[in-house]
Amino acid sequence: MSESPITPRGKDFATWYQDVVLHGDMAEPAEIVKGCMVIKPNGYAVWERLQRELDDRFKATNHQNIYLPLLIPQSFLQKEAEHVEGFAPELAVVTIAGGKELEEPYVIRPTSETIVGHFFSKWIHSYRDLPVLVNQWANVIRWELRTRMFLRTTEFLWQEGHTAHSSHEEAVEEVLRILDLYAEVSEEIMAVPVIKGVKTRAEKFAGALRSYSIEAMMQNGLALQAGTSHDLGQNFGRAFDVQFQSKEGKLDYVWQTSWGVSTRLIGGLIMTHSDDKGLVLPPKVAPRKSVLVPIFRKDEEKAVVLEAAAKLAKDLGAHVDLRDGMTPGAKFFHWERLGIPVVFELGPRDVASGNMVIKRRDTGTKEVIPQSEAVAKQAEILDAMQRDLLAKARQRMQDNTVLANSIGEVEEILGSVTAEKGGGKFVMAHLKDDPANDARIKEFKASVRNIPSVDLYDGPGKCILTGETVDRRVVIAKAY
């Protein structure tokens, strides 16, 4: 048996991740374009599955898709002070077009709040025009220094929702509705448990009043911000003069929200479930649920096996691996690395006995079953796998969540954690939402992930830095 091309997690988590991504046909680095990747067929098919799940939910909650220009006049970014400060260092700027230097350069969108503000001011005049609930599926560019496939790339694919409302209350409802929707897709479809909560002021989106996030835990214990939903208040409404006439005839600025998830979700998916054999995909995101590998040596066996295989595969919705010049063993490894949830084997003796072998990707369990039960068994295994992957990830998160009651304790737990070595924890501590406190946490390269929406711990307590009483514990962790 040849050696696995996948570096074990325990040896080097970062290299393991890269190996899983490459051998899972998920992506590869595009060295010739700084910090970009090519999303390969298996990776893009997973993205399409996630798009479908998200988009169906957006539409069911009355959002409509639109498409806005990629390029934004540079001056637009300046209009909201915090926003430009947040994004200016990461912009890619078009200065030449059609053979001429441009009078005003364009930036490639790092996100679209500014151009949305411009169009909202054209579309919205009266309370009758509200709410406006739109979303776009698009690419964005943020010039990052350190990149990692899916988790942080200079170009990435995402959806960005943008809404305008006539009251702050309604906007906040929208922000939380979307946060719930993101958590649902993450947990029920991706089998990735998350903590919903509000970001600290120091960590909020540049230009928002408040930002909410879902935070997941990777196998090395690092946190991953998997989605964000922002209460923009009237900041962009004011910056872009988006005013509406209320029912009472008064002029007011609209209340806006924005929210997004990106191809980063795929990185979180991989880092949550995969193992030393390669990619593991929860059945609900697996583009292909099962594959059947026919086994035969002699030509007379081939015909019999392939005939039975074709029939079974049809009922199972399975792909039959007919590749010539490849051993069954090599085929098994191939599908294992691609994260196919269920792989069947069918050889001449199976055909004779009416049996077949079914193998489950996450547990590696192999079982001989009657062919007549294959369809039911497959459905059962797919269900169980979806459920078990979530339960396992939940258990891991629970096992690696600890309480701390002093800054010394937090630093001791997280200080030496790295992405490569692992050992990360979610440390629950009482901490006041104050940028000075965030800065202290950043000294040991951790951060406040969020202030959970639901307090699962002991309620109010004294801030570990200022001693003031705060409402509940926050999540502190090292993060991607």
Q: Specify the DSSP element, H or E, that contains 105.
A: strand 100-108
Q: Give the tokens for residue 22.
A: 């490459």
Q: Give the tokens for residue 392.
A: 């396992």
Q: Give the tokens for residue 460.
A: 């109010």
Of the candidates 333, 328, 293, 296, the one whose C-alpha atom is nearest the C-alpha of residue 309 is 293
Other CB atoms within a 10 A radius of the CB of residue 52 amount to 11
Query: What track of x and - describes contact with Zn ion for positions 54 through 93 (by CB under 5 A)?
Result: ----------------------------------------
Other CB atoms within a 10 A radius of the CB of residue 89 amount to 10
Shortest Å distance, C-beta 149 to a second copy: 12
Among a second copy, Zn ion, none, partner that 97 touches (CB below 5 to 8 angstroms by kind): a second copy
Shortest Å distance, C-beta 425 to a second copy: 33
Among 4, 7, 45, 332, binds a second copy (CB under 8 A): 45
- The values of phi and psi at residue 348, to 5°, are -60, -40
Among Zn ion, a second copy, none, partner that 302 touches (CB below 5 to 8 angstroms by kind): none
Residue 129 binding Zn ion, by CB under 5 A:
no
Shortest Å distance, C-beta 472 to a second copy: 38
Residue 330 binding a second copy, by CB under 8 A:
no
Question: Based on CB atoms, which residue is closest to Zn ion, 219 or 243?
Answer: 243
Query: What track of x and - describes contact with Zn ion for positions 332 through 351 (by CB under 5 A)?
Result: --------------------
Sign of the C-alpha dihedral, residues 434, 435, 440, 445? Answer: positive
Question: Based on CB atoms, which residue is closest to a second copy, 13 or 244?
Answer: 244
How far CA 408 is from CA of 274, 405, 464, 476, in Å, comes to 34, 9, 9, 13
Question: Based on CB atoms, which residue is closest to Zn ion, 131 or 339?
Answer: 131
Among Zn ion, a second copy, none, partner that 365 touches (CB below 5 to 8 angstroms by kind): none
Among Zn ion, a second copy, none, partner that 10 touches (CB below 5 to 8 angstroms by kind): none
DSSP 127-188: GGG--EEEEEEEEEE---SS-BTTTB-SEEEEEEEEEEESSHHHHHHHHHHHHHHHHHIIII
Residue 68 binding a second copy, by CB under 8 A:
yes
Q: Find the binding residues for a second copy in span 75-134 (CB under 8 A).
A: 76, 88-99, 105-106, 108, 115, 118-119, 128, 134
- C-alpha–C-alpha distance, residues 242 and 244, integer Å: 7
Interface segment toward Zn ion; rule CB under 5 A; list 49-57, 123-131, 164-172, 245-253: 123-131
- C-alpha–C-alpha distance, residues 319 and 292, integer Å: 6
Question: Based on CB atoms, which residue is closest to Zn ion, 250 or 314?
Answer: 250
Among 40, 125, 238, 392, binds a second copy (CB under 8 A): 40
Residue 255 binding a second copy, by CB under 8 A:
no
Among Zn ion, a second copy, none, partner that 72 touches (CB below 5 to 8 angstroms by kind): a second copy
Q: Specify the DSSP element, H or E, that contains 83.
A: helix 81-87
At position 157, the amino acid (one-letter code) is L
Q: Give the tokens for residue 382.
A: 């797919």
Question: Based on CB atoms, which residue is closest to a second copy, 161 or 348?
Answer: 161
Q: What is the largest CA-CA distance in the chain?
A: 85
Question: Based on CB atoms, which residue is closest to a second copy, 30 or 304?
Answer: 30
| Residue that the structure tokens 């079974």 belong to | 312
How far CA 134 is from CA of 40, 145, 165, in Å, comes to 29, 31, 12
Among a second copy, Zn ion, none, partner that 73 touches (CB below 5 to 8 angstroms by kind): a second copy
Of the candidates 2, 202, 232, the one whose C-alpha atom is nearest the C-alpha of residue 112 is 232
Residue 125 binding Zn ion, by CB under 5 A:
yes
Q: Find the binding residues for a second copy in span 136-175 (CB under 8 A).
A: 138-139, 141, 143, 145, 155, 157
Assign 375 to helix, strand or coil: helix
User: How many residues interact with a second copy (rule CB under 8 A)?
Assistant: 53
Of the candidates 147, 136, 208, the one whose C-alpha atom is nearest the C-alpha of residue 21 is 147
Among a second copy, Zn ion, none, partner that 125 touches (CB below 5 to 8 angstroms by kind): Zn ion
Among 13, 16, 17, 44, binds a second copy (CB under 8 A): 44
| Residue that the structure tokens 């054999």 belong to | 277
Which residues of the chain form contacts with a second copy (CB under 8 A)? 30, 32-34, 36-41, 44-45, 47-48, 64-73, 76, 88-99, 105-106, 108, 115, 118-119, 128, 134, 138-139, 141, 143, 145, 155, 157, 325
Which residues of the chain form contacts with Zn ion (CB under 5 A)? 125
